Structure 1
């Protein structure tokens, strides 16, 4: 069966400034029950989904504008916001307020939105989507985890909780958990045992497995010319199809191509000739972008997508500081006391984001890893338009209900 696979693994590493003394890991969730969430919450959050999706899109674009350069770029907004939201559940005072200001919303409503998004994920025989979360904390007398922090992440993220020695057995346990939750697509997350000062891991894994709504046939694959950002022309394989989701923005046109049962879509936006993809991205905000997707017309177009694959990684801590999350990265100012207590003050050391995407006639394979490391211390019918992605373009993978940008990227070159 021809399928598309999107894989999301999110890793948060919390460590302490002072050295902590020193499985199969013990799963504490056997007796740790989540609080039942009011069922009306889902309906309320769906009514407010436009605002929350716009806020997440704004936050994601703010990051994207600061990292997009000459190379191919890919981030997972859902991964990044989920990682930081779980972390924010342990933040207090100015540390929390700075994070909420950058998110564009308070952590309580963000928890509710991400909860409603997770529990309302559609699934069928043709596509399967799942999100899993876990918390791993070091088995040491110097670390005491607040039950309220665990309870919140259990309630809203359905997180499992493991107590582990943070040695080679913990590395093996975490890799086994990730391998299982990503349907064996990501077999190894940790190459070495947790660092000496690490005391807590929060991991999110998302698995997306679906077919294109219309699979490309061999006759729909033909060679064409792609001009990369440097102006070099190269011959690549293009996939062509007729689509019915035409998108128009100032200085760009594009289309959406649906996956199975029209639950998710690949969205591509091509800046007009003479207008760089970087300048186009700078002109965007969350509301403009989401509204353009929501208001796409059913006008028929001929779409040409190049086959491409690439990997991308970025350490995001400096960018997040620029956006206003400052105290969380400062050993003296960070306040993550709602997580618990340790020998040293908890603070974020790094936020590592890694992604990979593959687009071909079978569909799309994409994955992302985000690591947060904390230390203590409708148009009129006309002739079909043609949108040929034969030069740098902006793309996203979105769900068609909330219009959440699950992945967001730029293809500057086909390698």
Structure 2
């Protein structure tokens, strides 16, 4: 089965504006990176357990604040973390303190951590996580951006930096950049650019991978998915035997690996009688990290529904509820390290996040060799220890980076859309 995911778009609109989005070159776009050469930074010791736990905790807090009533949810904590980190490099005083509290680390540790994290992500033919960062500046004499802000984001995030007129040609350029960097899964990001907008910071992230072991026709059948309100929908289920079991006091699930074993699909099904809302409310970053790093070697007969979903939400209120309030207040925001806009104060207006996922049954060329390894592991497990997990009601799912056991994407499926 192949799963495709993309997440990105943080639109921070300053009262001179800040937008998280991207761009491609056009005749009216000037590439400023010729004047900002990325420096070599040493981040070998930044990928610590403390930092990984902090990142997982950020993901869980983000999930809790983003929960919607019985609607599908799909977040990329990594995409949002990268975009906010780039922005935080321009924040100052209380604005910076609040952003660091939400992100979980001070920027002088967050920058090298994210640099090291991104550099260790696998990018293989059958399992690839691709990301790109860019900064767009409005061609306006009233806007002055500090060189240190641009340099830091070039050093740690390899951000492309552009100057553009912020007219219809820039809309086209941004949409084209976003489409290309998400493999057309998010074809359109903007309809227009507000007059107040002066900057876009953008992270585009795409995940695409084949399953470690392919599904065959006899592993696919129709079944019923029951939503929390009791209504049902008929869906196609993908059946397989997995060998890593997840269990805490209120949910059980499994890991299913993608090709090469660098990434895995993790699913958690709340126990009968526990609603998805109650389960997520009880979840902590430490609990989730312990769950993902301490799976049990046990055969799991797993059933996954085929599904496809999109998510598009303004995350501004979410981050304000998490404690990042000053950044959105035009009177209190302090982005002095970013620069200044003549006659206006710079603050964040919106944080837009768009994601897409498609789960199908497509197989992989690497399936035969991988399947043989799986069979060897499963042969050591006594038959009486076999677990059965059928995802036939709302569940929590994640795409995790197996080298760090951290979620790159996480979502809640309330309906398959069938």
TM-score by length of 2: 0.89
Cα displacement string for residues 17-55 of structure 1 (whole angstroms, at most 9, x for unaligned residues): 59xxxx3311011232111112xx22x123x0x322221
- Tell me, yes or no, if the aligned pair for 2:9 and 2:351 is still in contact at 8 Å: no
- Specify the alignment match of 2:138 in structure 1: 138
- Specify the alignment match of 2:119 in structure 1: 119
- Tell me, yes or no, if the aligned pair for 2:10 and 2:351 is still in contact at 8 Å: no
- Aligned pairs for 1:380-399 within 5 A: 381=382, 382-399=384-401
SS in structure 1 of the partner of residue 334 of structure 2: coil
- Specify the alignment match of 2:38 in structure 1: 34
Q: What is the distance in 2 between the residues matched to 1:318 and 1:4?
A: 30
CA drift at 1:231: 1.1
Q: What is the distance in 1 between the residues matched to 2:318 and 2:185?
A: 29
- Aligned pairs for 1:121-200 within 5 A: 121-192=121-192, 194-200=193-199
SS in structure 1 of the partner of residue 351 of structure 2: strand
CA drift at 1:345: 0.3
SS in structure 2 of the partner of residue 298 of structure 1: strand
Q: What is the distance in 2 between the residues matched to 1:303 and 1:292?
A: 18
- Aligned pairs for 1:279-298 within 5 A: 279-298=278-297
- Specify the alignment match of 1:85 in structure 2: 85
Moved over 4 A (4+): none
- Specify the alignment match of 1:45 in structure 2: 46
CA drift at 1:126: 2.1
Deviates more, 1:169-178 or 1:152-161: 169-178
Q: What is the distance in 2 between the residues matched to 1:187 and 1:322?
A: 30
SS in structure 1 of the partner of residue 36 of structure 2: coil
**How many residues are treated as equivalent by the alignment?**
389
SS in structure 2 of the partner of residue 86 of structure 1: helix
Cα displacement string for residues 180-207 of structure 1 (whole angstroms, at most 9, x for unaligned residues): 3333443332222x21111001111123
SS in structure 1 of the partner of residue 272 of structure 2: coil
Deviates more, 1:305-314 or 1:221-230: 305-314
Change (3 A) 1:59 1:190: same
- Specify the alignment match of 2:376 in structure 1: none
- Specify the alignment match of 1:106 in structure 2: 106
- Specify the alignment match of 1:374 in structure 2: none
CA drift at 1:404: 2.1
- Tell me, yes or no, if the aligned pair for 1:52 and 1:113 is still in contact at 8 Å: yes
Q: What is the distance in 2 between the residues matched to 1:5 and 1:357?
A: 5
Q: What is the distance in 1 between the residues matched to 2:413 and 2:404?
A: 25
CA drift at 1:397: 0.8
Cα displacement string for residues 37-95 of structure 1 (whole angstroms, at most 9, x for unaligned residues): 12xx22x123x0x3222212222222322332211211111111112111111000000
Change (3 A) 1:355 1:30: same
Cα displacement string for residues 142-169 of structure 1 (whole angstroms, at most 9, x for unaligned residues): 0011000000000000011111111112
Aligned CA RMSD, in angstroms, stands at: 1.9
- Tell me, yes or no, if the aligned pair for 1:146 and 1:340 is still in contact at 8 Å: yes
Q: What is the distance in 2 between the residues matched to 1:358 and 1:137?
A: 33
| Higher strand content, 1 or 2 | 1
- Tell me, yes or no, if the aligned pair for 1:24 and 1:173 is still in contact at 8 Å: no
